[in-house]
Chain A
Amino acid sequence: MSGFILQRLLQAIVIMAVMSVIVFAGVYAIGNPMELLIPPEATQDVRERTIQRFGLDKPLVEQYFLFVKNLLQGDLGRSYIYNEPVLKLIGSRLPATIELVTTAIVGALLLGVPLGIYAGYRPDSPVSRAIMSLSILGFSVPTFWVGLILILTFAVELGWLPASGRGDTVEVFGVGWSFLTLNGWSHLALPATNLALFTFAMMVRLARAGTREVMLTDTVKFARAAGISERVILTRHVLKLISIPIVTVFGLELATTMAFAVVTETIFAWPGVGKLIIDSINNLDRPVMVAYLILTAGAFVTINLVVDIVYALLDPRLRKGHAR
């Protein structure tokens, strides 16, 4: 087991190294790095200091190692617009995004998997058909459009829920959280629903397909022959069997949901990282973009690593060293 984790860890490091090359190439080789890293209105003094710091006058290979060195020291530059270290800026916006993404994805999982299992268990019932229609919509309809419709319906027409912002927050560990207040929840409701829909659709589909397949196997037939009730078959046998693909996709979904948060945060003016990146694209605040890319890549690699490990824990057949 530990050998397996070590192997995956090494892979993750290699991938991260490759990613850093790609980002470096994207930022420094394709675009004009001067333009990327130095604000257009900068003084000659600032210009020269930046060139020196990033070694822009040095050969490309040397530049790359300097880039990595700065990266490892947590130096990702300063934002032109906010005139703050980029890392600090992103750090201050991160909790809002984490809160939104977590609410969405946990909600999608807790609702999507049971509904999907039901739809796979009784594929022909009207309820299952309704669930599937919802999931097809969740797949097909672009996130931004669902967001607009949610605002139009619940904020503009009905006036039940606010359309933007985080609402009242409570400080824990020096960070404000919306989910601790009722008002915060009312602000969280629409964006979280919006963001959850795609993952929900994915969970429904996966759970349904898995259940349909598992229900036809001899494993289920044998459990039935032993007199085990349908409820226990679904909650113990089936759930455990379909959990492997669900966990895998869930991990990847976590990443995708982070990405879609960009769209949702823009629509609902949710002050998270996603909104920050769109703002910085529009304002040409490139250090923020670079940092965001690197951090996202890092997050992806980490998520993939965790998924692999959980996968191994779930499937006893993969646990090496445990067998005789």
Chain B
Amino acid sequence: MSGAPLLQVTDLKTHFLTREGVVKAVDGVSFSVDDGEIIGLVGESGSGKSVTGFSLIGLIDPPGRIVGGSVKLEGMELVGLPDREMRKLRGARIAMVFQDPMMTLNPVLSIGTQMRLALNAHDRLSRRAADDRAAQTLARVGIPDPRARLQAYPHQFSGGMRQRVAIAIALLHGSRVIIADEPTTALDVSIQAQILSEIRDLARENGTALVWISHDLSTVSSLASRLMVMYAGRIVEAGPVGTVLRAPRHPYTAGLLKSLPAAARPGEPLAQIPGTTPSLLNLPEGCPFRPRCDRASEACAVYPDLVQEDRRSYRCHNPVAATEAA
């Protein structure tokens, strides 16, 4: 692995061929993730961030399909890989955690059974060895008395504990990359913070890279080192968290930041981005943010190219100047 990134995504396109037309949920997304790195992928619902996550792990259900681009894991091309080969990688080298642990864990199988099934997907273990590994992993995510809890069913756990179990399942085979699709959104705020810091520690200990997908800018900024902002199927701004938050160049990022409660002065209403996410079925020509943007100009009728600037990049004809952002 001579300097090649752990995960390299190039011009990824995932489209849904629906009856009403082609929905370009992901339309030319490129980024890379290094070993042990935590990157955040932020956007409103419908921006294509979850579809990006599922594309990485090869779990796009019809009528969706990856129609172009490349996803390379440790130099190996994943797009176009036969199902059987892809299955061997899932959960072993690249894993995923979902939003609602209530929906992801099987309510009628015990935690132990579900973990054994996940273990046996890649290793042939005796029942005892599997239970040992499962209990060890549960202990690592902070579940007390893990061996006894193997017999328990999901409904006997609290929401936070359930998500810990799901994370433990993702950790079972020591994946190099874990894609986390809003894993704390369904949880209480206090539990959220707890799990966030635990995940950060786990990633650091194991050198696991994380792709953290969220609509919540503040969660991501407390966790990730790099930030990517997605809008209408494309990454519109990317860069180190500090830089992007301090001086956003894309008006959309700036709008998101202004709408955070922390940015408002007490007593004043929160700022909002006018309008709603466009339907991906009939995107406007040119920059899709144009109808909601107060900086839009004639030039925006043409889709903006990626502008590289130091370690950051953005797609905008009329970027916010560094001095403008408060």
Q: Of A127-135, A170-178, A215-223, which stretch is located at the interface?
A: A215-223
Are B122 and A227 interface neighbours, CB within 8 A?
yes
Mind listing 17 A-B residue pairs with CB under 8 Å? A217-B103, A221-B59, A222-B98, A222-B104, A224-B59, A226-B117, A226-B169, A227-B88, A228-B117, A232-B120, A232-B121, A240-B108, A240-B109, A241-B107, A316-B107, A316-B110, A317-B153
**Residues A225 and B106 in contact in the complex (CB < 8 Å), given A218-B98, A323-B156:** no
Q: Which residue among A228, A236, A315, A323 has the maximum number of chain B CB atoms within 10 Å of its CB? A: A228
Are B121 and A228 interface neighbours, CB within 8 A?
yes
Are A221 and B87 interface neighbours, CB within 8 A?
no
What are the interface flags for B147-176 relative to A under an 8 Å C-beta threshold, 1 for contact and 0 otherwise?
000000101100000000010011011000
Are B107 and A317 interface neighbours, CB within 8 A?
yes
Q: Which residue among A217, A218, A226, A316 has the maximum number of chain B CB atoms within 10 Å of its CB? A: A226
A229, B117: Cα distance in complex, Å: 10
A319, B153: Cα distance in complex, Å: 11
Judged by a CB distance under 8 angstroms, whether B95 is at the interface is yes
Q: Which residue among B89, B98, B100, B173 has the maximum number of chain A CB atoms within 10 Å of its CB? A: B98
Are B90 and A224 interface neighbours, CB within 8 A?
yes
Instruction: Tell me which residues across on chain B come within 8 A of A224, comparing CB atoms.
Output: 59, 87, 90
Judged by a CB distance under 8 angstroms, whether A94 is at the interface is no
| Contact residues of A between 69 and 86, Cβ < 8 Å to B | none
**Residues A237 and B104 in contact in the complex (CB < 8 Å), given A226-B121, A229-B87:** no
**Residues A218 and B103 in contact in the complex (CB < 8 Å), given A226-B91, A316-B108:** yes
A117 nearest CB across to chain B (Å): 16
State which of A222, A314, A323 has its C-beta within 8 Å of the C-beta of B108.
A314
Judged by a CB distance under 8 angstroms, whether B105 is at the interface is yes
Judged by a CB distance under 8 angstroms, whether A244 is at the interface is yes
Instruction: Tell me which residues across on chain A come within 8 A of B156, comparing CB atoms.
Output: 323-324
Instruction: Tell me which residues across on chain B come within 8 A of A228, comparing CB atoms.
Output: 91, 117-118, 121
Number of interface residues of A (CB under 8 A): 26
B125 nearest CB across to chain A (Å): 14
Number of interface residues of B (CB under 8 A): 36
Instruction: Tell me which residues across on chain A come within 8 A of B87, comparing CB atoms.
Output: 224, 227, 229
| Contact residues of B between 112 and 153, Cβ < 8 Å to A | 113, 117-118, 120-122, 153
What are the interface flags for A231-275 relative to B under an 8 Å C-beta threshold, 1 for contact and 0 otherwise?
010001100110110000000000000000000000000000000
State which of B89, B92, B103, B110 has its C-beta within 8 Å of the C-beta of A219.
B103
**Residues A237 and B90 in contact in the complex (CB < 8 Å), given A222-B166, A227-B121:** no
A314, B109: Cα distance in complex, Å: 10
State which of B91, B103, B155 has its C-beta within 8 Å of the C-beta of A225.
B91
Q: Which residue among A218, A229, A315 has the maximum number of chain B CB atoms within 10 Å of its CB? A: A218
Instruction: Tell me which residues across on chain A come within 8 A of B122, comparing CB atoms.
Output: 227
A54, B109: Cα distance in complex, Å: 55
A270 nearest CB across to chain B (Å): 39
A65, B16: Cα distance in complex, Å: 70
Instruction: Tell me which residues across on chain B come within 8 A of A225, comparing CB atoms.
Output: 57, 59, 90-91, 95-96, 98, 170
Task: Please report whether the interface of chain A is mostly helix, strand, loop or mixed according to DSSP.
Answer: helix
**Residues A219 and B169 in contact in the complex (CB < 8 Å), given A227-B122, A236-B117:** no
A216, B121: Cα distance in complex, Å: 21
**Residues A218 and B90 in contact in the complex (CB < 8 Å), given A226-B170, A227-B118, A324-B156:** no
Are A232 and B96 interface neighbours, CB within 8 A?
no
Are A315 and B89 interface neighbours, CB within 8 A?
no
Instruction: Tell me which residues across on chain A come within 8 A of B118, comparing CB atoms.
Output: 223, 226-228
Instruction: Tell me which residues across on chain B come within 8 A of A241, comparing CB atoms.
Output: 106-108
**Residues A226 and B108 in contact in the complex (CB < 8 Å), given A218-B103, A221-B59, A324-B156:** no
B115 nearest CB across to chain A (Å): 9
Residue of B nearest to A221 (CB): B59
Are A226 and B106 interface neighbours, CB within 8 A?
no
A243, B99: Cα distance in complex, Å: 26
Are A244 and B108 interface neighbours, CB within 8 A?
yes
Residue of A nearest to B87 (CB): A227
Instruction: Tell me which residues across on chain A come within 8 A of B98, comparing CB atoms.
Output: 218, 221-222, 225
State which of B89, B108, B155 has its C-beta within 8 Å of the C-beta of A227.
B89
State which of A217, A226, A317 has its C-beta within 8 Å of the C-beta of B95.
A226
B282 nearest CB across to chain A (Å): 26
Instruction: Tell me which residues across on chain B come within 8 A of A218, comparing CB atoms.
Output: 98-100, 103-104
B257 nearest CB across to chain A (Å): 31
| Contact residues of A between 175 and 229, Cβ < 8 Å to B | 216-219, 221-229
**Residues A316 and B153 in contact in the complex (CB < 8 Å), given A224-B90, A228-B121, A240-B108:** yes
Instruction: Tell me which residues across on chain B come within 8 A of A226, comparing CB atoms.
Output: 90-91, 95, 117-118, 121, 169-170, 172
Are A237 and B59 interface neighbours, CB within 8 A?
no
Instruction: Tell me which residues across on chain A come within 8 A of B91, comparing CB atoms.
Output: 225-228
Residue of B nearest to A324 (CB): B156
A323 nearest CB across to chain B (Å): 5
What are the interface flags for B210-241 relative to A under an 8 Å C-beta threshold, 1 for contact and 0 otherwise?
00000000000000000000000000000000
A244, B106: Cα distance in complex, Å: 13
Instruction: Tell me which residues across on chain A come within 8 A of B105, comparing CB atoms.
Output: 219, 222
A224, B61: Cα distance in complex, Å: 12
A236, B110: Cα distance in complex, Å: 12
Are A229 and B121 interface neighbours, CB within 8 A?
yes
Give 14 new A-B contacts, CB below 8 A, not counting A218-B104, A316-B108: A219-B103, A221-B98, A221-B104, A222-B169, A223-B118, A226-B117, A227-B88, A228-B91, A229-B87, A232-B117, A232-B121, A237-B106, A237-B117, A317-B153
| Contact residues of A between 293 and 319, Cβ < 8 Å to B | 314-317
A32, B288: Cα distance in complex, Å: 83
A69, B100: Cα distance in complex, Å: 58
Residue of A nearest to B120 (CB): A232
A216, B103: Cα distance in complex, Å: 11
